[in-house]
Structure 1
Amino acid sequence: MTHSTQKIHIIGAGISGLIAAIQLESKGYAPILIEATDRAGGRVKTDVVNGYQLDHGFQVLLDAYPKAKEYLDYKALELQPFLPGATIFKNRKSQSIGDPTRSIKMLIPTMTSSVGTLGDKVKVLKLNRDLKNKSIEEIFNSPESSTLVYLRKRGFSQAMITDFFKPFFSGIFLETALSTSSRMFEFVYKMFGEGMATVPKAGIEAIPKQLSSQLKNTTFMFNTSVASVEDNTITLTNGTALESDYTIIATEASQFIANLRGQETLWKSCVNLYYEVEAVGKKQPLIQLVADENTRINNLFYVDALETATTGAKNLLSVTVVDDQDLSEKALVTTVTSELATYCNITDVTFLKAYVIPRALPKLDNLRMDCEASETQLKDTIFLAGDHLLNGSLNAAMISGERAAQAVIEKIEGLLQ
């Protein structure tokens, strides 16, 4: 069989599905990408509302990600960097801390900040040094504990954990107890230390758009939902049966495979709210955290503190809620609006839109950096991809898509020999 006669389907046009398609095309194959929504990107999408760029969830690209460097053209994305630090609200006051070794703007605020003791700041420098000298492979081969236990073992004060690490990493890990694996903490912290947190000028969806633009021989089937996957057959929800020589499921597979029912991946959720804000003073590209106990707001960011491709008439504020306590959208908006005024002194706001993201990050144990291509094979002709196979990151999504495509290619070429 020639490459052109191989029917290879990829279910899910998120980052891992797009990378799998890129890999298959590079070897002469012409895959078919099946996507349930109207466009590629999966969880990585951007809407434009009233001229404002609204990412689906507060997302950043850590430009130190090894796989992102391989697949993305950073210059073309016009990446906009955040300052390396954060502004922390507590007791209705704010102060900023950061890494002055990467931005001199953070020197004086960090030195004068009361967040953490002098000993904490020394320990941060030691943590920076230790992780700079620790490879990613070593990180993912290290013994696991929770991030909270890890930070305590490194001697950080409870105040430093409560006022900085907890609000900052709760927004990244999407859980408030710092129960996420220490491997993930070390990996993310290392990536922050070796590069910058960035957002493409046109919003986070510029990433899958750039990946999609690399595909020349891939057929996209948008607004197409899959009901089930069996050997050599994909059944759509409208009853159509598609013949498939090989299928890569680049999304949650348990919904399609009968014998995987009850083995669903657990997911972390969040709610992202956007507000239009009237008057704002000088804005810095710093994430803002709320360290007060029992608040719904985890972090906030003025999107237009960075340069954007489109802009609305006023200022755009993104607010992330990790624990919504099952409030209705109306109740959550009321609560968050009140907290913005009470804790952050942000008033004159108009609610724009909320994104409820039930599958924002996979909830995983025994995190891995990579896997063998053969490990992505579920059945003779069915393969898996997605960050839930490794760790919850864009880097892992890219690796898993690459490995699944490699497994399919090895399978085909092995049969041809």
Structure 2
Amino acid sequence: MNKQDYKIHIIGAGISGLVAATVLEQHGYSPVVIEASDKVGGKVKTDINNGYQLDHGFQVLLTAYPAAQKYLDYKSLELQEFLPGASIFKNGKQEIIGDPLRDASLLFSTLFANIGTVADKLKILKLNTRLKNKTVEEIFSDKEQSTLSYLKELNFSTNMINDFFTPFFGGIFLENKLDTSSRMFEFVYKMFGEGSAALPKGGIKEIPKQLLKKLKNTTILYNTAVSSITDRKILLANGQELESEFIIIATEASSLIHNLKNQAIEWQHCDTLYFETESRAIKKPLIGLIPEPNAIINNIFYHTSLQTSVNDGKQLLSVTVVDNKGLSGEELKAQVQKELTELCGITSSTFIKHYSIPKSLPKLSELHYEISPSETRLTETIFLSGDVQLNGSLNAAMIAGEKAALGVLENLQGLFK
């Protein structure tokens, strides 16, 4: 049998599924990707609304991600970089802190910011150096504890934890208690230190769009939902049955395979609301943090502080809510606008769109960076992919997709012997 004749199916056209298809194509195979929606990308999507680019949730690419460097062409993405810092809204003032070693313009604001103590700022420099010299492999083999207990062990002050670490990393981990693994904290912190946070000029959707464009021998079946999977068989929601030599599940597998139904993944939820404003409360491309413990806003960002392909001429503001305290719809919008006025001095904002994202990030423990191809194999013909196999990140989604494809290839090589 020719390589192109093998029936290899990938369930899900998110980042992990697209990378799996890329690896299979590189080895001469022609996979079929089955996607329930009408476009690729999974959660990595961008809409055009009211003349603005609206990403599905506040998402960024960390340019230091090793897998992203391997599979993405950064130049053609026209990446627009954030400054390495944050603007913190505290007591009616903006306090700007950042890494002056990477951007000298942040030196004086960081030194004189009323955020943490001088000792805290020295500890941050020490942490920067420590993680720069610590390999990713060492990070993910080190002991695992909560990020909060990790920061306390490093003797950061309560104010520094509450005013900076909790809102900044709470917005990344999508939980405001810093329960997330210290491995994830160290990894993300290291990635921020070695590269930049960035967005493609055309929005986050440009990442899956680029991966799709590179695929030449892959078939994608859009608007095709999968009901269940068994060895060598895929049952579609419309009742059709597909025969398959190998199946890569690049989405949550528990609902598709009978004996995994008790292993459903728990997920973090978040809300992202977009507003149009006349001007920017934060002049530079910095994320805005809200350390007020009773606030529902976690962070804000002006997407128009970066160059965008689509711009209606005013300012586009995104607001991330990690814990909506049971508010939804109009109540949530009203509370967000109230806090924008009271905490950030943003008195005029026109609502554009609200994204409620119930499966924003997987809640995982025992986080890993790598996985061997054989470890992705569930049965002789079914392989598991997606960031849920490793850690909740774009980098992990790419690695898991690659390893699942290599797992299939290992089995195929055995057939050719």
**TM-score band, normalised by shorter chain:** over 0.9
Matched, 1:271 2:267: no
CA deviation string 1:163-196 (max 9, x = no partner): 0000000000000100000000000000000010
* 1:146 aligned partner: 146
User: Residues of 1 paired with 2:125 and 2:231: CA distance?
Assistant: 53
User: Structure 2: any 5+ residue segments left out of the alignment?
Assistant: none
User: Residues of 1 paired with 2:92 and 2:37: CA distance?
Assistant: 42
* 2:350 aligned partner: 350
* 2:80 aligned partner: 80
Deviation of the 1:279 alpha carbon:
3.1
Question: Does structure 1 conserve the Cα–Cα contact (< 8 Å) formed by 2:90 and 2:290?
Answer: yes
* 1:339 aligned partner: 339
User: Residues of 2 paired with 1:120 and 1:280: CA distance?
Assistant: 29
Question: Does structure 1 conserve the Cα–Cα contact (< 8 Å) formed by 2:376 and 2:404?
Answer: yes
User: Residues of 2 paired with 1:226 and 1:405: CA distance?
Assistant: 20
Q: How does 1:352-367 map to 2 (within 5 A)?
A: 352-367=352-367
Deviation of the 1:283 alpha carbon:
2.1
Q: Which amino acid aligns with 1:163?
A: D
Q: Which amino acid aligns with 2:91?
A: N
User: Residues of 2 paired with 1:101 and 1:140: CA distance?
Assistant: 26
* 2:197 aligned partner: 197
Matched, 1:220 2:224: no
User: Residues of 1 paired with 2:259 and 2:110: CA distance?
Assistant: 54
Question: Does structure 1 conserve the Cα–Cα contact (< 8 Å) formed by 2:87 and 2:282?
Answer: no
**Stretch moving more, 131-140 or 272-281:** 272-281
Q: Which amino acid aligns with 1:262?
A: N
Q: Which amino acid aligns with 1:122?
A: L
The number of residues matched between the two structures is 417
* 2:127 aligned partner: 127
Q: Which amino acid aligns with 2:139?
A: I
1:253 aligned counterpart, secondary structure: coil
User: Residues of 2 paired with 1:280 and 1:185: CA distance?
Assistant: 30
* 1:293 aligned partner: 293
Question: Does structure 1 conserve the Cα–Cα contact (< 8 Å) formed by 2:281 and 2:346?
Answer: no
* 2:209 aligned partner: 209
* 2:157 aligned partner: 157
2:276 aligned counterpart, secondary structure: strand
Q: How does 1:4-403 map to 2 (within 5 A)?
A: 4-280=4-280, 283-403=283-403
Question: Does structure 1 conserve the Cα–Cα contact (< 8 Å) formed by 2:53 and 2:311?
Answer: yes
Deviation of the 1:248 alpha carbon:
0.4
User: Residues of 2 paired with 1:240 and 1:403: CA distance?
Assistant: 29
Deviation of the 1:111 alpha carbon:
0.9
When normalised by structure 2's length, the TM-score is: 0.99
**Stretch moving more, 90-99 or 196-205:** 90-99
User: Residues of 2 paired with 1:359 and 1:279: CA distance?
Assistant: 32
User: Residues of 1 paired with 2:373 and 2:212: CA distance?
Assistant: 23
Deviation of the 1:92 alpha carbon:
2.1
CA deviation string 1:258-303 (max 9, x = no partner): 1111210111110010001123367210000001111000000000
User: Residues of 1 paired with 2:256 and 2:358: CA distance?
Assistant: 19
Task: Label 1:348 to 1:219 Cα distance change in 2 as closer, same or farther (>3 A).
Answer: same
1:13 aligned counterpart, secondary structure: coil
CA root-mean-square deviation: 0.8
1:272 aligned counterpart, secondary structure: strand
Q: Which amino acid aligns with 1:368?
A: H
Deviation of the 1:119 alpha carbon:
0.3
1:247 aligned counterpart, secondary structure: strand
User: Residues of 2 paired with 1:414 and 1:142: CA distance?
Assistant: 35
User: Residues of 1 paired with 2:134 and 2:74: CA distance?
Assistant: 25
Matched, 1:412 2:412: yes
CA deviation string 1:77-100 (max 9, x = no partner): 010000000000122221100000
Q: Which amino acid aligns with 1:33?
A: V
Q: Which amino acid aligns with 1:376?
A: T
CA deviation string 1:298-323 (max 9, x = no partner): 00000000000110131100000000
User: Structure 1: any 5+ residue segments left out of the alignment?
Assistant: none
User: Residues of 1 paired with 2:281 and 2:131: CA distance?
Assistant: 36
User: Residues of 2 paired with 1:90 and 1:108: CA distance?
Assistant: 18
User: Residues of 1 paired with 2:299 and 2:4: CA distance?
Assistant: 49
Question: Does structure 1 conserve the Cα–Cα contact (< 8 Å) formed by 2:282 and 2:288?
Answer: no
When normalised by structure 1's length, the TM-score is: 0.99
**Stretch moving more, 346-355 or 272-281:** 272-281
Q: Which runs of 4+ in 1 moved over 4 A?
A: none
